[in-house]
Each structure stands twice: as C-alpha cells, then as structure tokens.
Amino acid sequence: MEHLREFYANLSDRKKIVLWVSVFFVLFSVIRITVWQTTKGGVPGPKYFAKKLASDSPEEKKFAIYEVGRLGMKSAVPSLATIIKENSDPEIKRAAAASLGKIDRDKLVALLDETKGNEKRAVMETLIKLDRKNMYLLLERFPAEDSETKKTILSFADYLSDPGHSGKILEMAENTSEDVSVRKELLVMMAGRQIDSRMETRLWNLYYHDPEDEIKKLAYTLIKEARKKTAD
C-alpha cells in the first residue's frame, strides 16, 4: 500500500487526472455489465448450460460443453457421453470428451468399450491429454482391440516416444497370435529406442525362435543397432 501511495504522489497533476478517468471508465463498465445481466435474467447458471447442451447451434452447444466441464457438473455426464457417441462434429466430440474427462474420468474410460472409430479416437486422445500415463492403459488394452483401434494406439505411442513404453511395445511384438503386420510395426517403433540387456535377450529369442522370418530379421536389425550404439 505504501508503494502505491508513493507512486500516486509522484504522478503529475495531468497523469493523476488520466488515472482517475481510467478508473471511472472501468467502474462504469462493470456496473453497466452487471445491470445488463440483471435485466436479462442474471448470470447463466448450471441449469442454463445443461439445457444448452441440446442446442442446435454448434456455438451454443460447444460453449455449454466447456461450461459444464468447468463447473464440474456431474448431472451433465450422460448428455456429454451421448454427444461423444452421436454428434457428427469431430470438434464437438473432442470438446465433450475433454469436459467429461474433467468431471468423471472413469466414465470416459468406460466409453472405450462403448465407442468405435472417430468417437473412440476422441476418447483416447482426451485420456492422453489429461495424463500421458493413460497411454499405459491403452497399451494394456491393445491385444483385445480391433485393427483400426490398434493403429490409433500405435500412432499415439509413436508420437509420445516415451522410453517407458518400450517394454510393453516389445511384449506386444512377441505375441505370435498377433497379426504379423502389426508385430512388424511394433518392432519398427523400437528402432531408435533404448534397448537394455534384458530387451536384447528377448530380441535374440525372437531371432532364434519366432516362426516368422520377417520378425527374425527385424529383431536382428534392432540388436545390431543397439550394439552399435553401445560401441559408439
């Protein structure tokens, strides 16, 4: 407060006038907005935003989606889930997924079993944005997913390039019941990653025992690259 007094005292008369005029206009604007809101029925509340989730206007719907998420409205969870599954606008789907993740993460995770295609991608993308560690959840689900979802999960894992995912990626590549093209893609993702002695042993096992020649070749390539890095 003392600094403010000194600052004001050091101002010229002209600057003091400018300062008070500025303060007056700020206060006037606040009062005018308050009066306008009062005459229009007050500041919109949770019920208003819940109602606007069903609006035909994309702008109103999107704004309502963001607001129910900001307010943490649990009552909006069913509507957000419906929007994710049924709305045709990808941007609105992502907005609904983001708000649902803020309100109820478990429900967002449950939607992984209730959605497919673009809807499921929006859910997975949101989970990763909420917490990169959710990538481990997606990797755990990988074996049971359809081919389209597997490709999406791989694209996310490749984008994140998290060294902590390497062990799980190699584990999935070792699964001989998995489609060969997917296993090859998994091993290609291992290129450039840190490969420790235990991983190298597992790669040797693929080289000597895997039934697919292409997998053997890729495993051996990874071993050579890892040894070259160690030598350098």
- The pLDDT tens digits of the residues spanning 182-220 come to 999 999 999 988 899 999 999 999 999 999 999 999 999
Q: What share of the chain is helix, strand, coil (3-state, %, to 5)?
A: 80, 0, 20
CATH code for the structural domain at 161-232: 1.20.930
The H or E element containing residue 198 is helix 197-209
38 falls in which pLDDT band (50, 70, 90)? very low
Segment 147-162, tens digit of pLDDT? 999 999 999 999 998 9
Mean pLDDT of the 65-69 span: 94
Fold entry, domain 44-131: Leucine-rich Repeat Variant (1.25.10)
> Taking 90 as the threshold, does the pLDDT of residue 11 lie above it?
no
231 falls in which pLDDT band (50, 70, 90)? confident
How many Å apart are CA 122 and CA 127, to the nearest integer? 9
Q: What is the pLDDT, as a whole number, of residue 27? A: 47
Q: What is the pLDDT, as a whole number, of residue 192? A: 84
Closest CA to 137 of 145, 182, 190, 173: 145
> Taking 60 as the threshold, does the pLDDT of residue 28 lie above it?
no
> Taking 70 as the threshold, does the pLDDT of residue 43 lie above it?
no
Q: How many residues does the chain have?
A: 232
Q: What is the pLDDT, as a whole number, of residue 230? A: 81
Mean pLDDT of the 57-68 span: 93
Q: What is the pTM of this model?
A: 0.74
